[in-house]
Amino acid sequence: MRRLAVFASGNGTNFEAIVAACEQKVLDAEVVLMVCDKPNAYVVERAKAHGTPSFIFSPKSYASKADFEHEIIQKLNEAGVELVCLAGYMRLIGDTLLEAYEGRIINIHPSLLPAFKGAHAIEDAFNYGVKVFGVTIHYVNAALDGGKIIAQRAFEYHGNDVEELESMVHATEYPLYIDTIQKLITSDSDK
Ligand code: GAR
């Protein structure tokens, strides 16, 4: 597997890290498509800057999730995408896309799953008062932040600054995602 799609909804720092790793040949892959469900998201600018082809859509202009996922599948097929990497794509993947790309969609989540699922995992863990934080990469299924865990990385944080904690989580995310994608690519080409 060498042809990647990255899905994002926001800032896109994980997208940036993955693209940079491909450009620098740290990652033996190419991001052939960026998919974004928020036309104003900063990740759109990042994709332009890197010359990454993008599919940007507004879910509201489709009658159903199945409708926009059919279009996503068409774009993925046209680009020859082999592995879909969700990176801050804040939307549940529906049955249409799951069936088409079963076992080939992975996600990064900023907590040690199964703890702190959802869109505010870092704040939720911080507010709960845990001292061990981390990041999870997992296969995607129909459940929110569900699916088989592929990799996790943990660290301790005893401070009181949620922004500092967020930076530490992000700094943990990028190398873990790149290492994990590289391992998946390598094990796939061994088969
Ligand atoms: C990342 O921290 C990612 O783990 C998280 O969104 C952030 C996106 O940041 N994803 C989730 O919370 C998924 N449930 P980025 O846009 O800068 O890559």
- Residue 10 in contact with ligand 1 by CB distance below 6 A: yes
- Say what percent of the chain tops pLDDT 70: 97
Q: How many CA atoms lie within 13 A of 154 on its CB side?
A: 9
pTM of the model: 0.96
pLDDT for 112: 98
Q: From atom 5 of ligand 1, which residue's Cα is the shortest distance away?
A: 88
109 belongs to the catalytic site? yes
In this structure, what DSSP letter does residue 161 have? -
Vertex 44 angle, CA 41 and 49, to 5°: 140
3-state secondary structure of 109: strand
Confidence of residue 191 (pLDDT cuts 50, 70, 90): very low
pLDDT digits (tens, 9 = 90+) for 133-149: 999 999 999 888 899 99
Q: Average pLDDT of the chain?
A: 96
pLDDT for 144: 87
Q: % helix / strand / coil in the chain, to the nearest 5?
A: 40, 20, 35
pLDDT for 102: 87
Q: Which ligand 1 atom lies nearest to the CA of residue 117?
A: 14
- Say what percent of the chain tops pLDDT 90: 93
Q: Which ligand 1 atom lies nearest to the CA of residue 170?
A: 2
Q: From atom 9 of ligand 1, which residue's Cα is the shortest distance away?
A: 88
- Residue 14 in contact with ligand 1 by CB distance below 6 A: yes
pLDDT for 1: 56
pLDDT digits (tens, 9 = 90+) for 11-58: 999 999 999 999 999 999 999 999 999 999 999 999 999 999 999 999
Ligand 1 geometric centre to CA of 88 (Å): 4
